[in-house]
Copies of this chain bind each other. A is one copy, B any other.
Amino acid sequence: MAPSPRDADPVLQNEMDEVSEAINKTIGRLLPETDLAENKLYEAMRHGTLGGGKRLRPFLVVHSAALFNVDPARARRVAAALEFVHCYSLIHDDLPAMDDAALRRGKPTVHKQYDEATAILAGDALLTLAFEVLSESETHEDPRVRCELIKALAKASGGHGMAGGQMLDLIAENEEFDLGTISRMQRMKTGMLMAFACESGAILGKAGEPQRRALRSYAFDLGLAFQVTDDILDVEADPQDTGKDTGKDSQAGKATFVSTLGKEQAKERAEMLVKQAVSHLHVLDGRAKMLKDLAFYVLERRV
């Protein structure tokens, strides 16, 4: 991983690097290189999933699962499935008909590296693979747990979750949204998948409802904080640091937290959200240090 221009604290950074490396291995095993005639599809799926990235969601899965003594290999399978969904959404979002992005994580986007049709199919196949991975007994021996994971991931990523949020995002190009609608859009677009990341650890560990609720609430606040800081980075950061085109949202005239609140108020809101996120973790009796540290990192990050 390239060093960040401003690193997180060394313990957190080390843990983030370790999760990234472990998840890359899991993804590599689930998407092996082939010599099939249709190998281009697998190459595109690997290009879209193995190109770095912060692996924030896998970190949340792994460290939520660790709170309930879940076998780390199982947590990594769920983390990989979730990352497949996250990466499929990036591949489809980057298409010319959507955000029309040429660069992602410092590399050409999938449709630039291959072609549009391949990018559409690679996204479709990644989404499908996510559910296949979750349905297998290696993910959990109890099929009830596997079904619960599948239902939760589908709800977080479908029409009432991420895909619906993307639809709102498209509508936002032509309609003025108020802050409430922007927050709902971000909750669907980003928050629900973050909530799945945290709750999936609790599902794997068959944790009780108060702990699930705490992790969901933490994730929603963290997800919103992450989105606010993303909007700030979109107007502030150097594309060489973020590895993607910056300033695109503001250029497209999209309503963002920065355009609605102004930069200073957006920063204050991110800070407030992070404090609120951390406050939900008290029911976990001080065991959630990594999740707490990650929340503060979201404020500090420059990529």
Residues of A within 8 A of B (CB): 36-38, 40-42, 45, 88-89, 92, 95, 97-98, 115-118, 120-121, 123-125, 127-129, 131-132, 134-136, 142-144, 146-148, 150-151, 154-155, 157-159, 163-168, 170-171, 181, 188
Contact B128 A158 (CB under 8 A): yes
Taking a contact as CB atoms closer than 8 A, the residue among B92, B148, B150, B170 that contacts A124 in the complex is B92
Please give, as numbers and ranges, the residues of chain B lying within 8 Å of A181 by CB-CB distance.
37
Please give, as numbers and ranges, the residues of chain B lying within 8 Å of A151 by CB-CB distance.
132, 135-136
Q: How far is the CB of A135 from chain B (nearest CB, A)?
A: 4
If over half of A's interface residues share one DSSP class (helix, strand or loop), that class is named, otherwise mixed; here it is: helix
In the bound assembly, the distance between CA atoms of A144 and B37 in angstroms comes to 34
Please give, as numbers and ranges, the residues of chain B lying within 8 Å of A38 by CB-CB distance.
159, 164-165, 167-168, 171, 188
Max count, chain B CB within 10 A of own CB: residue among A95, A131, A151: A131
Complex A-B: 17 CB contacts under 8 Å = A38-B188, A40-B171, A92-B121, A95-B120, A97-B120, A120-B120, A121-B166, A121-B170, A124-B124, A124-B127, A125-B164, A128-B154, A128-B159, A128-B163, A129-B154, A129-B159, A136-B151
Measured CB to CB, the nearest residue on chain B to A137 is: B147
Can you add 7 more A-B contacts, CB < 8 Å, to A45-B159, A98-B117, A147-B150?
A38-B164, A38-B188, A89-B124, A131-B150, A132-B155, A135-B154, A150-B150
